[in-house]
Amino acid sequence: MAKLDPTQMADWQIAEAAEANMKTVYELGEELGLEKMELLPYGHYVAKLDYLNILDRLKDKPDGKYIEVTAVTPTPLGEGKSTSTMGLTQGMGRLGKSVIAAIRQPSSGPTFNIKGSAAGGGLAQCIPLTDFSLGLTGDIDAINNAHNLAMVATTARMQHEFNYDDDILASKNLRRLDINPRNMNMKWSMDFCAQALRDIVIGIGGKMDGFMMKSGFQITVSSEVMAILAVATSLADMRERMNKIVVAWDKQGNEVTTGDLEVGGAMTALMARAINPNLLQTIEGQPTLVHAGPFANIAIGQSSIIADKVGLKLADYHITESGFGADIGFEKFWNLKCRFSGLTPNVSVIVATIRALKMHGGGPAVFPGRPLDAAYTESHPDLVEGGVENLIAHIETVRKAGVNPVVCLNHFYTDSDDEVEVVRKAAEAAGARFAVSKHWELGGEGAEDFAHVVVEAAEEKPDFKFLYPDSDPLKTKIEKIATEVYGADGVTYSQTAEQKIKTVEADQELSKLGVCMVKSHLSLSHDPSKKGRPTGWTLPISDVLTYRGAGFVVPVAGDIKLLPGTGSNPAYRRIDVDPESGKVVGLF
């Protein structure tokens, strides 16, 4: 393959060139030691893996080292977690290590909007890019269909109960659920950013056209079904969780679940193939698992437990990525994913860039699509110095979990040595190992030093511990996250939140569940305008949602939308198909 220059080529062009030399899934399967029937091909370069047979066959094999990737607080400049995950995987491959990665499947919302597809970038990407970005093997479609089937079951039952008396319902072997149309827990699901559908009215027409009520949509990656795919440990576990989803409350205030609607089995049937992880590869041919795709600001933000368990059996090093900064993605990995999986991480990588730290240090505002201010391309160690407090906060969070932290400076060719030295000194003073990685520019070759540092850190035994025990009251769990991870002075609760917390704490099962916070990813606080390491603030909890099936309670901090909006300059304007070759162009 000819030398690729990421400073002169778009990511999709680099991916297209690399795809000419891809390994087939059969070659990847042979390298991983998979048996023939454990590989479920979707064409030549993508496959699903029969997780059940793999885990059963390798049940006595020791797990590999478990490495998590998180980051500083995100900025519009991008920190490069996926890029760094791919770079580290490629770097370990260059060192001759047995390595596999797990990342989340991208949502069509950001892919066609502003953020892009999250395959990585430069010379550190997951390929084939088009398959990865545009639907893959249909997992998100399955989630969407399963979620919407629950809504079909709910609204159909409401219509029939409105139209029929108890005798007719009994003749159809139905009991009256008496669902309160003003107290719904779910909305309809779609995998696009469509702000016009956040709040709608359905059932307009005659009595056979449905029950008229307010409703709306949420993005598929925020669905509890997606969360269940991320945390389920088996198909049996998924089936049990699918029956516990709370769709609404009845007029007496009791939960109405998918089990009550007798729809959980059909939902699981739609998900039966999706539970198997997808196998792709880096542009340098290392195996990469892609499975589940929940956002971290409005959901759990993790690739699946099943993918991690498979990766830990198939390789000596398994690298998994969590969404957004350590305050959100790592915190949920630490206190939710690890609690569900029983797995203990050896290392957490905290990705940072000079440009992001400059913004946290008071650098000029950045807007997608507009030229960067010179402050971000010229040397300004003073701005970096101001921003390292944000990095230090994330290092402290990882260390609080008893996990070994490694700071990866995702290097840009405009970074100066003086700026890099500021970050090195701050990271090491805060108790983290430090590595500069040039994987974006040089691929695995540029990540070798980074890989060496991570391998060294993985040899140290972690002293892993959760932030809170299951037995803590809900408010105590919320307040520990707010004060010990976010840095808040305290927490306030709306009247709605107070009432729902009382309901949760009165329920013995719910009161023991973990906490999956909904919070802005753009700040350690709930206010996205507060950069760096804000002090002197209080976290406001406006609502508390119940995700009984996924196994957590969801406090909502501030005003967060479960369906993002499409911006004025979305990515779909640049995505097209080459009519001669049939190849998709313009993805990033």
Q: Which residues are catalytic?
A: 81, 83, 104, 115, 296, 324, 412, 440
Cβ(302)–Cβ(322) under 8 Å?
A: yes
Residue type, 585: V
Question: CA of 87: how far to CAs of 82, 170, 219, 282, 286, in Å?
Answer: 8, 61, 29, 9, 10
Work out the number of other CB atoms within 10 angstroms of the CB of residue 434. Answer: 21
DSSP state of 138: S
H or E, element range at 158: helix 139-163
Work out the number of other CB atoms within 10 angstroms of the CB of residue 69. Answer: 31
Provide the H-helix boundaries in 315-463: 331-332, 338-341, 354-360, 381-400, 417-429, 439-442, 448-458
Task: Count, in order, helices (H) and strands (E) of the chain.
Answer: 22, 25
* Residue 165: exposure state from Cβ atoms within 10 A (0-12, 13-18, ≥19): exposed
Question: What is the sign of the dihedral through the CA atoms of 137, 50, 295 and 242?
Answer: positive
Report d(CA 47, CA 131) in Å as an integer: 11
Burial 555-567 (b: 16+ CB within 10 A, else e): bbbeebebbbebe
H or E, element range at 16: helix 11-19
DSSP 527-549: -TT--SS--S-EEEEEEEEEETT
Q: What's the Rg (C-alpha) of the chain? A: 24
Report d(CA 179, CA 188) in Å as an integer: 17
Max distance between CA atoms of the chain, in angstroms, equals 80
> Which tokens in the block code for residue 128?
């084939």
Report d(CA 546, CA 557) in Å as an integer: 15
DSSP state of 125: E
Question: CA of 137: how far to CAs of 140, 276, 290, 346, in Å?
Answer: 8, 10, 10, 31
